[in-house]
């Protein structure tokens, strides 16, 4: 995991360094053009702190060194340390992604089981149809369509994560409740595609499992259908789903980024976009690094979960 | 005939597979898949290797074919004009040498590429060795198909058109394409229906007589080898425990393991009252074999000496080698 | 009896046809059983046909502004006019009046003024793929009339023409991107699977790292780094490369996995023992056996690529006007009120979803057909 993180940090750094020119110079030129006062001391200090006149690997070293000491750099756009700008946004992204994960599994597992046990019934066909459409609806299009529908049919704007009165106040019980009220839309938007996919996987796995000889034997022995189902086949069919968690989370974080732009959520998406557009490199770099770290950690979590769910893995 | 010429000699052959574990793939021990095996095969004869699954038969076959390299020991192939040490052959010499030995596989399904026609499958050895191509190749394939009893009009069919037995015939034809000196047959009939098995065995025997072929025949079932072999070697956990002429293995056997294998063979003769004796317990782990005689935990005659003292392979009667402390004392029943 | 013989003969021929059927034929027969996949295949063929012949199929040039028809709603095609049914379809003349309160144009059709819809109609001149010049369009109306089947945008440009033209960019990005992923994936996965050892470990590590990256932020970061001064063509290829940068990992994994299992396959061993060279074993035995599976993998990846372009362009990081892609078209739909008042602007989404759905169905059908020898 550590080597992975190191590689990721390198890639993140290279990406934010890709645009030509060093951003301080650009910024100074801009400020000069606008005849604004330049804080020479601050610029000198920053140049020194981030080693901007040094080769790239020194810059990278300084960047990482500062991050390890809790300093993510300075955001030019916001005129604040990056740390102060992103904390809450990363948290909200994590909340949305994890809620979406929960949503995905809570819906897809029972629906998948139903679909498999009622193979080729009307219900199964409807589920299959919906699942296929869900699969073809990428989250930002779904967000767009839902916004459109909300506006046309209910005449409300479904954007944001908080009601206006809570948007800029500090955290409180009421604010959390307000968040929960708004959370469902991004969660549904982000989760739909993956839910659809997992319904299909669950259905397929369970059908494979149900065709195996041991199920036939158990059925012949007169075991009740529910017991028979839950005892082994469902558990076996769940394994690929759990191991799929490690692919799911990067996917969700990814989806959350763009969905939040469409839905104007106060999460990472819009800010990352802004940072990339204005070449606010440390802000952009911090986002890319933290989002990737989030997914690496979640991969680790899914491995642990898998080991817990499937005892065979531990032996190896 | 020059049938007294030795074709293949195997001396003290060993193959240890390292067991690697952990992130750094450290070697944690060895699977002694083949552990000091020696035998030889005369030209035109059949040597059968018999033993339970996992005892190292396939590994020996692959060592001879140089599909894998031996840990130590010698494999000497006697051509009419020279001797070839297979284990010492260089990669570049190997390719030219392959035509002298061919393999018949166990599984007639996975051993034929489903995406190639019969013509392509049987013709492949001819093509890649530049023996023939085009019309000449096709004629040769037709000839081979007729030799193994396949209708040559099926030349352009794909394997999915054939039954298991027919597929195995295709496999035999492919093995014979280059006129090899030695054919290694790794359980060639064990994946087939019993009714088909005899047909394939007959086919192999017929071809052997026609072409003076030499077989190294692998089987886990003693009943299969009786008809086809001149010599039988019985193997247990990487070692040969008994080797002798076929009739001696079946009539004057000297090893309790051979007895156990033999008694497991079902008989049709209802008049015969025979004590059936089944092997109990698990095959020993080749990575961690027991002390003394490897077979002692499952042997019904085992005495204290068997538990501690390793047994060498000794010649009890001329040409009859046994690896058992009690070989001289026991009076085992054959058939 | 003769009839029976004939029937028997036919059955025999059928069987022989099956016995000598090439793998491709077997796969096609199996694929055809998946009805939805076949329908999807035709839908996609049509889409790609439209994309290839975009200039010919579209009634208008995508950059021409019909300044008198801003935000015109879709026009209908009428078969029933002048109180009678006609075989010749027509469109009505489109006119507008200014709403006295909102000051917006309100469009209405004038059934008295009909314009027959003509096939192979002369219209604006264009150069097909910049190759040869003509003014023949698949359909159109005489000057004076208009045919905006999907309405116009805020600058009065014909939406149908823009969507068709956008499909050329969006659909080709999917194909080119996937081909790049395929080539990278095949080479790296093959190396990884064939050589094993340290090479394998290094490549696997790289794949692992790339896979743990959240795609969209990575894509965003990379495309934001593209200089604004680049030509549209350069941007197009750069975006394609960016999209395939992550795509190859899946292919490489699949290739490696197949390689490892197939390398152990008896028929590969048989070829090796027969003296076949490594390359022959790879291209004659291993490649054909897993190519179909890889094709499934990449088919299912095309939608992701198309959506990647759409998403990036939507965010303003991908393609930019004057290139017209589906994502660029969607960018015009960022304002919900805009869409609510001019709902036809969102019709691009229908084309996108249709495409994605079709690729998914085809992938599904191909998966069933990929191994025609499975029982
Ligand atoms: N490539 C390999 N790596 C490690 N162990 C192996 C390998 N091939 C075979 N073995 C081990 O060697 C032993 C003998 O295998 P094999 O020769 O296939 O037995 P048989 O053909 O008699 O069934 C088994 O314990 C098997 O697990
Ligand atoms: Mg074997």
Model confidence at B268, pLDDT cuts 50, 70, 90, reads: low
B66 to chain C, any CB pair closer than 8 A? The answer is no
* pLDDT confidence of residue A168: 66
Inter-chain contact C311–A140, Cβ cutoff 8 Å? yes
Residue nearest to atom 5 of ligand 1 (CA): B17
* pLDDT confidence of residue B274: 57
Using DSSP bridges, classify how beta strands C105-116 and A80-81 pair: parallel, antiparallel or unpaired.
unpaired
In a domain, A113, yes or no: yes
Model confidence at C375, pLDDT cuts 50, 70, 90, reads: low
Residues C122-147, mean pLDDT to the nearest whole number: 80
Residues of C in Cβ contact (< 8 Å) with A303 = none
Peptide bond into C322 cis (omega under 30): yes
Q: What is the DSSP secondary structure assignment for residue B294, as one 8-state letter?
A: T
By C-alpha distance, the chain A residue nearest C337 is A151
How far is CA C154 from its chain centroid? 26
In a domain, A55, yes or no: no
* pLDDT confidence of residue A120: 76
Residues B135-148, mean pLDDT to the nearest whole number: 91
Residues B58-84, mean pLDDT to the nearest whole number: 89
Q: Is the pTM of this model over 0.95?
A: no
Distance B57 CA to ligand 1 centre (A): 8
pLDDT at residue C166 tops 80: yes
Model confidence at B183, pLDDT cuts 50, 70, 90, reads: very high
A 13-42 → C contacts, CB under 8 A: 15-16, 18-20
Give the span between the Cα atoms of C311 and C330, in whole angstroms: 9
Residues 6+ apart with CB under 8 A from B55: B235, B236, B237, B238, B283, B286
| Least CB–CB distance from C273: residue in B96, B98, B154 | B98
Token pair of A161, please? 């994560």
* pLDDT confidence of residue B49: 94
Token pair of B285, please? 């782990």
Percent of chain C with pLDDT over 90: 3
Predicted confidence (pLDDT) per residue in C206-253, tens digit? 887 777 777 777 888 888 777 777 888 888 888 888 888 877 887 888
Grouped pLDDT means (10 residues each) for chain A, 316 residues:
78 75 63 66 69 73 80 75 79 83 88 83 84 81 82 69 64 69 82 85 80 74 73 75 73 80 80 78 81 76 68 41
Residues of A in Cβ contact (< 8 Å) with C341 = none
Q: Per-residue b/e over A125-154, b at no fewer than 16 CB within 10 Å?
A: eebbeebbebbbbbbbbbbbbbbbebbeee
Residue nearest to atom 3 of ligand 1 (CA): B17
Structurally, how many domains does chain A consist of?
1
* pLDDT confidence of residue B207: 92
Cα–Cα distances (Å) from B80 to B2, B66, B84, C354, in that order, read 10, 20, 11, 71
Residues 6+ apart with CB under 8 A from A254: C214, C215, C216, C217
Written in H, E and C, the secondary structure of chain A is CHHHHHHHHHHHHHHHHCCCCCHHHHHHHHHHHCCCCCCHHHHHHHHHHCCCCCCHHHHHHHHHHHHHCCCCCEECCCCEEHHHHHHHHHHHHHHHHHHHHHHHHHHHHHHHHHHHHCCCCHHHHHHHHHHHHHHHCCHHHHHHHHHHHHHHHHCCCCCCCCCCCCCCCCCCHHHHHHHHHHHHHHHHHHHHHHHHHHHHHHHHHHHHHHCCHHHHHHHHCCCCHHHHHHHCHHHHHHHHHHHCHHHHHHHHHHHHHHHHHHCCCCCHHHHHHHHHHCCCHHHHHHHHHHHHHHHHHHHHHHHHHHHHHCCHHHHC
* pLDDT confidence of residue A52: 66
By C-alpha distance, the chain B residue nearest C19 is B161
CATH number of residue A130's parent domain: 1.10.3720.10
Distance B171 CA to ligand 2 centre (A): 17
User: By mean pLDDT, which of B85-89, C262-266, C351-355 is the weakest?
Assistant: C262-266
How far is CA C280 from its chain centroid? 34
* pLDDT confidence of residue A21: 57
pLDDT at residue B184 tops 90: yes
Give the span between the Cα atoms of B13 and B34, in whole angstroms: 7
- C-alpha angle C30/C35/C38, rounded to 5°? 80
C 12-41 → B contacts, CB under 8 A: 18-23, 26
Cα–Cα distances (Å) from C104 to A151, C65, C267, in that order, read 20, 18, 74
Residue-range domain boundaries for chain C: 65-157, 162-369
Check if the beta carbon of residue B221 is closer than 8 Å to that of residue B52.
no
Regarding predicted confidence, which is higher, B206 or C64? B206
Residues C2-21, mean pLDDT to the nearest whole number: 78
- Among the bound ligands, the one closest to the CA of B33: 1
In a domain, A56, yes or no: no
| Least CB–CB distance from C353: residue in A136, A151, A273 | A136
Instruction: Please compute, for residue A211, the number of CA atoms within 13 A of its CA located in the half-sphere on the CB side.
Output: 7
Residues of A in Cβ contact (< 8 Å) with C43 = none
In a domain, A283, yes or no: no
Mean pLDDT of chain B: 86
Select from B16, B54, B237, B285 the residue to mutate for testing ligand 1; criterion: most ligand atoms less than 8 Å from CB: B54
- The total of other beta-carbon atoms located within 10 Å of residue C73's CB is 18
C35 to chain A, any CB pair closer than 8 A? The answer is no
User: By mean pLDDT, which of B190-194, B238-242, C95-99, C265-269 is the weakest?
Assistant: C95-99
Domain holding A189, by residue range, is 87-262
C277 to chain B, any CB pair closer than 8 A? The answer is yes
Check if the beta carbon of residue C325 is closer than 8 Å to that of residue C164.
no
Inter-chain contact C20–B157, Cβ cutoff 8 Å? yes
Model confidence at B13, pLDDT cuts 50, 70, 90, reads: very high
Check if the beta carbon of residue C306 is closer than 8 Å to that of residue C171.
yes
ipTM of this model? 0.87
In a domain, A38, yes or no: no
C-alpha closest to that of A231 among A217, A249, A252: A217
Give the span between the Cα atoms of A50 and A31, in whole angstroms: 20
CATH architecture group of domain C162-369: Orthogonal Bundle (1.10)
Select from B13, B14, B17 the residue to mutate for testing ligand 1; criterion: most ligand atoms less than 8 Å from CB: B17
In a domain, A4, yes or no: no
Residues of C in Cβ contact (< 8 Å) with B114 = 23, 373
Inter-chain contact A148–C346, Cβ cutoff 8 Å? yes
Q: What is the DSSP secondary structure assignment for residue B301, as one 8-state letter?
A: T
Residues C336-362, mean pLDDT to the nearest whole number: 84
Atom of ligand 1 nearest to the CA of B186: 21
In a domain, A212, yes or no: yes
* pLDDT confidence of residue A316: 32
Mean pLDDT of chain C: 82
* pLDDT confidence of residue A312: 47
Predicted confidence (pLDDT) per residue in A238-249, tens digit? 777 776 777 777
B319 to chain C, any CB pair closer than 8 A? The answer is no
Model confidence at B81, pLDDT cuts 50, 70, 90, reads: confident
pLDDT at residue B262 tops 60: yes
Token pair of A23, please? 């951003």
User: By mean pLDDT, which of B40-49, B189-198, C259-268 is the weakest?
Assistant: C259-268
Model confidence at B140, pLDDT cuts 50, 70, 90, reads: very high
């Amino acid at each position: 995991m550590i080597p992975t993180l190191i590689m990721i940090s390198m890639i993140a750094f290279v990406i934010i360094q890709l645009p030509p020119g060093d951003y301080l110079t650009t910024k100074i030129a801009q400020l000069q053009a606008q005849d604004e006062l330049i804080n020479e001391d601050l610029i000198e200090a920053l140049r020194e702190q981030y080693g901007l006149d040094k080769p790239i690997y020194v810059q990278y070293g300084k960047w990482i060194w500062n991050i390890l000491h809790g300093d993510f750099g300075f955001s030019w756009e916001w005129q604040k340390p990056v740390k102060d700008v992103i904390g809450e946004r990363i948290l909200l992204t994590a909340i949305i992604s994890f809620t979406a994960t929960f949503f995905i599994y809570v819906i897809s597992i029972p629906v998948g089981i139903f679909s498999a046990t009622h193979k080729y019934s009307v219900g199964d066909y409807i589920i299959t149809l919906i699942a296929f459409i869900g699969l073809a609806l990428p989250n930002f299009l779904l967000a767009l369509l839902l916004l459109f529908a909300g506006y046309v049919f209910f005449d409300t704007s479904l954007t944001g994560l908080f009601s206006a009165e809570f948007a800029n106040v500090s955290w409180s019980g009421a604010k959390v409740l307000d968040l929960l009220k708004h959370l469902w839309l991004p969660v549904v938007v982000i989760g739909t595609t993956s839910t659809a996919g997992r319904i299909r996987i669950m259905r397929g796995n369970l059908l494979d499992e149900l065709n195996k000889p041991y199920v036939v034997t158990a059925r012949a022995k007169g075991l009740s259908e529910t017991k028979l189902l839950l005892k082994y086949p469902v558990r076996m069919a769940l394994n690929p789903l759990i191991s799929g968690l490690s692919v799911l989370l990067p996917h969700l974080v990814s989806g959350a980024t763009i969905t939040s732009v469409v839905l104007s959520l106060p999460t990472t998406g819009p800010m990352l976009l802004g940072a990339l557009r204005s070449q606010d490199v440390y802000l952009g770099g911090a986002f890319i690094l933290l989002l990737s770290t989030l997914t690496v950690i979640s991969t680790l979590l899914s491995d642990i979960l898998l080991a817990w769910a499937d005892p065979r893995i531990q032996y190896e | 005939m020059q049938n007294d010429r030795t074709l293949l000699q195997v001396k003290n052959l060993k193959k240890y597979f390292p067991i690697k574990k952990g992130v750094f793939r450290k070697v944690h021990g060895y699977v002694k898949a083949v552990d000091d095996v020696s035998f030889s095969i005369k030209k035109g004869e059949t040597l059968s290797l018999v033993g339970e699954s996992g005892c190292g038969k396939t590994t020996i076959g692959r060592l001879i074919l140089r599909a894998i390299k031996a840990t130590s020991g010698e494999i000497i192939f006697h051509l009419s004009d020279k001797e070839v040490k297979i284990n010492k052959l260089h990669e570049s010499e190997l390719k030219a040498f392959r035509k002298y030995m061919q393999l018949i596989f166990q599984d007639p399904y996975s051993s034929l590429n489903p995406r190639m026609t019969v013509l392509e499958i049987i013709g492949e050895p001819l093509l890649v060795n530049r023996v023939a191509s085009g019309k000449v190749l096709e004629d040769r394939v037709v000839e081979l198909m007729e030799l193994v009893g396949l209708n040559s009009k099926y030349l352009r069919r794909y394997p999915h058109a054939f039954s298991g037995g027919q597929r195995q015939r295709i496999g035999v034809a492919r093995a014979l394409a280059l006129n090899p000196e030695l054919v290694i047959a790794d359980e060639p009939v064990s994946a087939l229906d019993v009714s088909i098995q005899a047909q394939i065995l007959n086919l192999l025997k017929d071809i052997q007589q026609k072409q003076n072929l030499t077989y190294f025949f692998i089987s886990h079932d003693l009943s299969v080898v009786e008809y086809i072999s001149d010599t039988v070697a019985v193997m247990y956990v990487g070692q040969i425990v008994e080797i002798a002429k076929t009739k001696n293995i079946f009539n004057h056997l000297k090893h309790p393991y051979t007895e156990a294998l033999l008694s497991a063979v079902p008989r049709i003769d209802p008049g015969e009252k025979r004590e059936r004796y089944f092997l109990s317990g698990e095959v020993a782990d080749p990575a961690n074999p027991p002390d003394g005689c490897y077979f002692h935990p499952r042997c019904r005659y085992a005495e204290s000496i068997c538990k501690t003292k390793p047994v060498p392979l000794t010649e009890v009667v001329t040409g009859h080698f046994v690896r058992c402390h009690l070989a001289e004392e026991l009076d085992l029943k054959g058939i | 009896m003769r009839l029976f013989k004939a029937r028997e003969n036919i059955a025999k021929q059928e069987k022989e046809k099956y016995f000598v059927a090439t793998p491709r034929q077997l796969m096609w027969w199996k694929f055809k059983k998946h009805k939805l996949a076949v329908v999807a295949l035709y839908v996609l063929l049509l889409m790609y046909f439209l994309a290839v012949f975009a200039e010919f199929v579209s009634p208008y040039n995508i950059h021409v502004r019909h300044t008198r028809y801003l935000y015109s709603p879709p026009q209908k095609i009428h078969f029933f006019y002048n109180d009678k049914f006609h075989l010749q379809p027509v469109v009505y003349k489109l006119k507008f009046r200014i709403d006295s309160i909102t000051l917006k144009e309100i469009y209405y059709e004038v059934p008295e003024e009909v314009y027959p819809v003509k096939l192979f109609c002369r219209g604006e001149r264009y150069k097909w793929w910049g190759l040869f010049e003509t003014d023949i369009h698949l359909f159109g109306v005489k000057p004076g009339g208009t045919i905006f089947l999907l309405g116009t945008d805020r600058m009065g440009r014909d939406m149908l023409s823009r969507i068709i033209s956008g499909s050329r960019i969006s659909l080709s990005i999917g194909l080119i991107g996937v081909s790049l992923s395929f080539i990278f994936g095949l080479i790296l996965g093959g190396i990884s699977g064939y050589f094993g050892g340290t090479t394998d470990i290094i490549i696997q590590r790289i794949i692992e790292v790339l896979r743990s990256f959240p795609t969209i932020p990575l894509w965003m970061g990379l495309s934001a780094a593209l200089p604004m001064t680049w030509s549209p063509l350069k941007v197009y290829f750069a975006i394609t490369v960016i999209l395939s940068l992550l795509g190859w990992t899946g292919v490489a994994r699949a290739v490696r996995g197949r390689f490892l299992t197939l390398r152990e396959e008896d028929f590969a061993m048989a070829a090796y023992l027969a003296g076949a060279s490594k390359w022959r074993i790879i291209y004659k035995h291993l490649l054909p056996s897993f190519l179909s599976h890889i094709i499934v993998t990449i088919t299912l990846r095309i939608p992701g690529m198309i959506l990647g372009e759409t998403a990036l362009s939507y965010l303003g990081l991908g393609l930019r006007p004057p290139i017209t892609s589906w994502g660029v078209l969607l960018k015009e739909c960022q304002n919900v009120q805009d869409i609510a008042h001019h709902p036809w602007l969102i019709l691009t989404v229908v084309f996108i979803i249709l495409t994605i759905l079709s690729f998914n169905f085809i992938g599904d059908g191909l998966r069933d057909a990929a191994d025609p020898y499975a029982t």
